[in-house]
Structure 1
Amino acid sequence: MKKINLFRFLKLLIVLLLTYNIFAISILYIPVTNVKNFSWKWTPYNYKQILYYPNNMKELSLLNKTNRLLIISFLNKNIYKDYLDIDFWYYKQTLESIDRDNINNLEKSFHKAYILSKNNSKINFKFREYFIRNYSKFSSEYKNKIFKNF
């Protein structure tokens, strides 16, 4: 009796995993951005899958504000998936630096990327240079946070 229940449980588990994988892959390849934007947080993909193949959002013009906001919205959905990825924070910071409306998010992204770059002296030096050049654009809160780690 227990073997039959275990077999049914495993069968149900496999069916659920297959259904989830089909759902996640269909979200990745679906061209409708409204559906993708709504359900992206339930997929296992990081920000690179939305920027590169099959969606190629990296090819969108960043001069268009709607394209920037669309990419930033997907990046915001991936914050917890890519929390320790320095490339993610660097790309997010670059996008937010283009749009001055997101200055608060720019400060957060810069601070996180700066902290994650501590072990890489070349990148850390570039962040320090950027901070020194744009010192007046940062709020006093983030100036203090960055100076603590300078």
Structure 2
Amino acid sequence: METPAPPWLLQSVALTYPGWVQRKAVTLCKRDQKRGGSGNVQDYRLAIHNAVVASAGLDHWTGEPLDWHLIGTYDNREAATGKGEHKKQYALLPTIDHRFNTPSPDFVICAWRTNDAKHDMTPEELLAFCRRVVAHAERISAPAGGD
């Protein structure tokens, strides 16, 4: 099965894209099978590709443009030495996020930063959490005395 890069990807990224999809499909399929999932690598490849196409290059949860040139460039050894600063460089790295907390090939594409923050929350839990963060920020930044 072919997973050609979407037309909106730059040509340099388009060359990396099929291998990236394949590696992610293998990794996610194996992980989900250990968690009771029953999909195969081809199901995962197609689901990832469809999620990428549907994303139009944007983070599903925030709408931010993703840095597609970063796919396939993350290095765990560099990350171990770079810590937080290294992570910030990859904040908008496109990642594959399970739409729901089930071991199945049902994905959306989002930034690494978003995926890290969302972790294992359901979409509803993520929205409720974000609302609490915004409400709290508005309360603590409101001027004293109501003016």
TM value normalised by structure 2? 0.23
More helix by share: 1
TM value normalised by structure 1? 0.23
More strand by share: 2
